[in-house]
Amino acid sequence: MKQKEILSNIHVNSNNKLELSEDLIDEMGDRHIQTSIDTPMRADAFDKTDEEKIGIIEQHFQAIMETLGLDLTDDSLKGTPRRVAKMYVKEIFQGLNPDNMPKVALFENKYKYQEMLVEKNISFYSNCEHHFVPIMGKAHVGYISNGQVIGLSKLNRIVDYFAKRPQVQERLTVQIGKKLQEILGTEDVAVMIDAKHLCVSSRGVKDDTSSTITAFYGGAFAEEKSKSEFLKYLEFNTKF
């Protein structure tokens, strides 16, 4: 979409708020435009308990299903609104709540290991914030210790925490990278994500073969030597 077309799709309504046309909203979703590195959250995001949120989402999801014409007295369907509500709050979007951030303990780098450590092929499942359908992929994470090390499984858990939000892949990549920099107390962190978006493969353009790669290179990884070492490690295909 050209700039001119975007402008013609934006209108100022009577409350002086910008209004986006339906076409532009679709286009923004299909182009995966993001507006911020922080997940956009409301000020009252955590005023309600998880149980209250589940109750509200259950009612709304029931209304969606009924609007679609589904008969919720059917045995197979009647538990779906509550199942979906619980799944949203307790599973696939639990990373919205900072209380669910994994507890991370650091250890002294007793081995004096000075090289980069790479954990690759960390499987994750997320959901596209534009369509609420799955994103699935592999994250590859590297860091160079500045004196402290982190348990390997914590790298998986941090990837999982940020994946369990409505996401765009670019934001997911940067959120993981910045959190690792903060935890490890070093800029020397790299993250690469290769993922499939079901909103691209199962609908819309229906491309089943493409995948999307995004990368975050901090500190030493922004330099060619470390970056190419990291990328070389990702090419290794050890059979186990």
Supply the angle between the helices 169-184 and 152-163 in degrees, to the nearest 10: 140
State the minimum distance, in angstroms, from the CB of residue 54 to Zn ion: 25
- Cβ-closest position to Zn ion: 199
Q: Which of 58, 62, 119, 128 is catalytic?
A: 128
**What residues line the site for Zn ion (CB under 5 A)?**
128, 130-131, 199
169 counts as catalytic: yes
Choice between 40 and 151, CB closer to Zn ion:
40
Residue closer to Zn ion by CB (options 155, 199) is 199
Structure tokens given for 233 = 């490690």
Which residue of the set 131, 140, 167, 175 is catalytic? Answer: 131
Q: Which is nearer to Zn ion, 131 or 179 (CB)?
A: 131
The nearest distance, CB 198 to Zn ion, in angstroms, is 8
Q: Is residue 130 among the annotated active site residues?
A: yes
Rounded least distance, CB 66 to Zn ion, Å: 25
Sequential DSSP letters for 51-88: HHHHHHHHHHHHHHHHHTT--TTSTTTTTHHHHHHHII
CB-nearer residue toward Zn ion: 175 or 226: 175
Map residue 90 onto helix, strand or coil: helix
- Catalytic residue list contains 119: no
197: annotated active-site residue: yes
- How far apart CA 231 and CA 240 sit, in angstroms, is 20
**Cα distance between residue 160 and residue 175, in whole Å:** 11
Catalytic: 199? yes
In the complex, least distance from residue 197 CB atom to Zn ion, rounded to whole angstroms: 6
Which of 207, 91, 221 has the alpha carbon at shortest distance from 160? 91
Residues annotated as part of the active site: 128-131, 169, 197, 199
